[in-house]
Amino acid sequence: MVISKILIRYRRDNALSQKQMSDLLGVSQVGYHKWETGTTKIEMEHYCRIATLCDVSLLDLLPRDWQEKIRDELGV
């Protein structure tokens, strides 16, 4: 699943505003909004926080072609 969709789903499922999500992740509301809309790339340092908050694996946050390559290399 695309990371922006994971963020949106988690935020809506937990009845949080973009401001509340941005506070939980330690970024500005404007920056968070850009993540949700896909207008800016997310820095790697934020991936761990997102994975922890949204209760998903880091692998789930990566593009699907990367996921497949990693799974193939690991034999998973």
pLDDT recorded at residue 68: 87
pLDDT recorded at residue 1: 61
Instruction: Render each residue's pLDDT in the chain as its tens digit; 76 residues.
Output: 688 888 898 999 999 999 999 999 999 999 999 999 999 989 888 989 988 988 888 888 888 888 888 888 988 7
Rounded (10°) CA dihedral 21, 23, 28, 53: -50
For the chain, which domains are there?
3-74 (1.10.260.40)
pLDDT recorded at residue 34: 96
pLDDT recorded at residue 23: 96
What contacts 1, CB < 8 A, 6 or more positions away? 60
Rounded to two decimals, what is the model's pTM?
0.76
